[in-house]
Amino acid sequence: MTVTVGERIVAEIRQLDKKGSGQAAVWRENDQGSMKKLKLTIPRTLPGEKVDVTVDMPEKRRRLAVPNEILEAHPERIAAACPHFEKCGGCVWQHWQYEGQLNEKTNHVKDAIEAQGFDPNLVLDTIGMDNPWRYRNKMEFTFSPDGSLGLHEQGNFRKIISLETCLIAGEEMVAGAMEVADWAKSHQLSGYNKDLHEGLLRHLMVRQSFATGEMMLALFATEAPAGELKEAADDLVQRITEKFPQVKSLLWLENTDWADRTQSEETHILAGRDFIYDEMDGYRFRLWFDTFFQTNPVQAQKLVDLAIEMGQPKKTEKMIDLFCGVGTFSLPFADRVGKLAGIEIVETSIASAKRNAADNGFDNTYFLAKDARKGIDEVLESFGTPELLLLDPPRSGAGGKVMRRIGRAKPERIVYVSCNPDTFAIDIKELEQFGYSLKVVQPVDLFPHTVHVESCALLVLR
């Protein structure tokens, strides 16, 4: 087959890539008469489907193509619930029955550990949600240069899709965001242009505790709310305080850095305080705008319960919580062990962990702000070998050096909480040489309608 620019072809979806998009391939004849394979990435498709697509730039070997029509649909295909699904990059699998999503995530974890030589039968079925909607307690929206508020278009970091709703965020959170969007429009405030590095409004972060109901609205802008902006800022305060009494933290954060991150050079408290209170497992936490906290509290509670069930903590034991963050796992375990040491490289998170431990009345915890590998050495020297070690590293994993240091420390039991099956499998492979056996892996779906899957695993020293 010779594929020309703008030609419509039929492609069969063989598999999904790591971003959840369909993968297909067609053979085409080039100008020299040789057959070459054209690999297509086709979003919003499912394995086994036949789709009609239009190919542009067929001289390239890899192309992104949008389906014109689904010719043969997957039996689990459904209509997406959100009106923005076709363009918005917030979700990728709303067109897939939830049970199918869970099976795909289970298989992802199985494939990852099998690739490292582990038995895939150790992976249990993914624990899903009874209601996989409105599950997020934090959202980060972005302003487009014209001042509209929304989320990035799928596969296009430069384009913002204006939103009228978002079905994975709480209703009150969405209502608060839409109020800020209306405020920006009424004052004709510009959004930030990433190419020209000009404009006022960059991001809006919304957080709300499912337990306390407290909400935070954090507006990121390139200027302070002073001078001509003072009147607009005062109007924002009036709108929010009148309509949303649950907002206990209304912030204006200055960010002039070119990097497109939600960071602050100076924080202005427009109303309330600079943090909100949240609760998990009966423990109270203070959350600032930059605090990492599990964004799905319903499923996060299941992760904590799993970690405790697997770890079997005892009052006579010592424990290390590596990559402890603000103490999400530390506090429930501190209630069940004799001593607990938490290690985390982010100093503000350690300050929060110490404060959270004090707020909840713990006196058996020690928190250290240090790189994981060096932190383990320091804690072991003063703390001794723990019977139990829990780690919850970022998506990049803990890394070989950290895992080998854990192996040499020889805790009896290791609970690994992972947000990336591939780096998890590579990490635990390092522990085999130190005599550890993988006993069980339990995936948990914290992010329905996306490709992401968390898991909790137990490794025991033979």
Per-residue pLDDT of the chain (462 residues; tens, 9 = 90+): 445 556 788 999 999 999 999 999 987 766 677 778 889 999 999 999 999 998 876 556 778 888 899 999 999 999 999 999 998 988 999 999 999 999 999 999 999 999 999 999 999 999 999 999 999 999 999 999 999 999 988 877 778 889 889 999 999 999 999 999 999 999 999 999 988 889 999 999 999 999 999 999 999 999 999 999 999 999 999 999 999 999 999 999 999 887 777 888 899 999 999 999 999 989 999 999 999 899 999 999 999 999 999 999 999 999 999 999 999 999 999 999 999 999 999 998 999 999 999 999 999 999 999 999 999 999 999 999 999 999 999 999 999 999 999 999 999 999 999 999 999 999 999 999 999 999 999 999 999 999 999 999 999 999
pLDDT of residue 460: 98
Integer angstrom CA distances of residue 322 from 106, 205, 416, 459: 25, 27, 10, 15
pLDDT of residue 31: 66
Domain boundaries, the chain: 7-72, 106-130+294-461, 138-280
CA–CA separation, 298 and 270 (whole Å) = 31
pLDDT for 350 equals 95
What's the fold here for domain 7-72?
Answer: OB fold (Dihydrolipoamide Acetyltransferase, E2P) (2.40.50)
CB atoms within 10 A of CB 295: 17
Answer yes or no: same fold for 7-72 and 106-130+294-461.
no
DSSP state of 123: B
Q: Does domain 106-130+294-461 have CATH number 3.40.50.150?
A: yes
Sheet of 156-162, strand order:
156-162, 149-153, 138-143, 201-208, 215-221, 247-254, 266-272
- pLDDT of 223 reads 95
Encoded tokens for 356: 């959270």
Choosing from 88, 91, 166, 419, which is the catalytic residue? 419
CATH topology classification for 138-280: OB fold (Dihydrolipoamide Acetyltransferase, E2P) (2.40.50)
pTM attached to this predicted model: 0.92
Q: Is 324 a catalytic site residue? A: no
